[in-house]
């Protein structure tokens, strides 16, 4: 459920300590507003090691006491070398201890110099869920590519040279959600592809929580309060519900519901034609073929008939994507 975490850790290094650290990369920038106040950036990250944390130390060169230590890491990749394994409470306890020791080792500091990570601030948090859907993978991705989310910009990416959906993104200014073909992602990542292939038939959902959501969990975004599994499970469950898969109905189910309804023959014909266009051509095309009022009239009539609040017609019946279920097939 928990994937990437970015910590803001209160650690101050002396000039001697900074010079004795083996940094991967260093950089200095000068503020456009005040050219006499350069800021130094020091990075540590081993690109050859899967899951190696990104460690960033930033300080003002003319005022070194103003410093920030940021550490960003994928919890499952750090612990297991891939993000297929889902993190539980015991994993998180071990992770916090191991990461603290890793940071101390990389910075050549004694362990007490690094505060307990449970007391530090969480600057970023990604939640995730893997779903094994077997040979229904494209059915799910195609259905999700049709899902609309209010106030979100949707982007769909396809496998090169095909009509197969590879990933779907929904973005706002404060949040990004995505669902993607985990098989394709692993195949394209040479390092992760060296791991045993356990993703066949798997799709993955990820969401980055907004600053507002983090502060609802903890006003000061303290890790011990933010990383509460019960609270995070509710948040993730809400996002999965909003994907609309639970509202989906197969095209056969839709046609049958229309035919056995109490509508007159003319109304049935109109709804059948509408449903076919909506399914085959998609909602956007459907909107261009009907007047605004007629589109919403038929859409609402069909939603009422099917007992759903949002219309999503799929080739086959799809089970909802839920946290508790290991498979959906």
Give the Cα separation of 93 and 74 in Å (integer): 15
- C-alpha distances (whole Å) from 308 to each of 104, 151, 245 are 54, 21, 11
pLDDT, position 327: 44
3-state secondary structure of 18: helix
**Which pLDDT tens digit goes with each residue over 224-240?**
999 999 999 999 999 98
pLDDT in tens, 153-181: 899 999 888 888 999 999 988 788 999 99
Q: Which residues pair with 44 in a beta bridge?
A: 55
Q: Is the dihedral of CA 322, 134, 137, 279 positive or negative?
A: negative
Q: In the chain, what is the straight-line distance between the N-terminal and C-terminal CA atoms, in Å?
A: 20
Summarised one tens digit per residue, pLDDT across range 235-271 is 999 998 888 787 788 899 999 999 999 999 999 999 9
**pTM metric for this prediction:** 0.82
Residues 6 or more apart whose CB falls under 8 angstroms from that of 184 comprise 159, 166
Nearest one of 259, 242, 247, 221 to 303, comparing CA atoms: 247
Q: Say what the pLDDT of residue 31 is.
A: 66
pLDDT for the residue numbered 324: 65
User: Which of 10-14's residues contact partners 24+ apart within 8 Å by CB, and which partners?
Assistant: 10/69, 10/115, 10/120, 11/57, 11/67, 11/69, 11/107, 11/109, 11/113, 11/114, 11/115, 12/64, 12/65, 12/67, 13/57, 13/59, 13/67, 13/107, 14/64
């Amino acid at each position: 459920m928990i994937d990437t975490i970015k910590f803001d850790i209160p650690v101050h290094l002396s000039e001697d300590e900074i010079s004795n650290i083996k940094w991967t990369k260093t950089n200095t920038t000068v503020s456009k507003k005040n050219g006499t106040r350069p800021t130094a950036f020091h990075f540590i990250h081993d690109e050859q090691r899967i899951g190696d944390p990104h460690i960033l130390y930033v300080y003002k060169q003319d005022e070194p006491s103003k410093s920030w230590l940021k550490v960003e890491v994928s919890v499952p990749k750090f612990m297991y070398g891939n993000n297929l394994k889902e993190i539980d409470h015991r994993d998180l306890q071990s992770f916090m201890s191991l990461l603290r020791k890793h940071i101390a080792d990389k910075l050549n500091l004694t362990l007490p110099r690094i505060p307990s990570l449970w007391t530090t601030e969480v600057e970023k948090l990604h939640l995730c869920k893997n779903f094994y859907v077997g040979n229904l993978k494209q059915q799910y991705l195609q259905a999700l590519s049709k899902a609309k989310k209010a106030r979100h910009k949707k982007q769909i990416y396809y496998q090169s040279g095909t009509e197969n959906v590879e990933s779907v993104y929904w973005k706002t200014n404060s949040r990004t959600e995505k669902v993607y073909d985990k098989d394709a992602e692993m195949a394209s990542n040479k390092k992760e592809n060296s791991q045993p292939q356990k993703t066949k038939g798997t799709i993955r959902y990820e969401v980055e929580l907004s600053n507002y959501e983090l502060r609802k969990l903890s006003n000061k975004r303290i890790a011990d309060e933010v990383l509460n599994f019960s609270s995070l499970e509710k948040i993730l469950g809400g996002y999965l519900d909003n994907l609309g898969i639970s509202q989906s109905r197969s095209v056969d189910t839709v046609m049958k519901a229309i035919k056995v309804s109490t509508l007159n023959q003319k109304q049935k014909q109109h709804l059948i034609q509408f449903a076919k266009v909506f399914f085959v051509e998609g909602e956007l095309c459907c909107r261009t073929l009907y007047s605004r009022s007629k589109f919403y009239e038929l859409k609402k009539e069909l939603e009422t008939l099917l007992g759903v609040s949002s219309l999503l017609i799929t080739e086959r019946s799809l089970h909802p994507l839920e946290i508790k279920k290991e498979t959906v097939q």
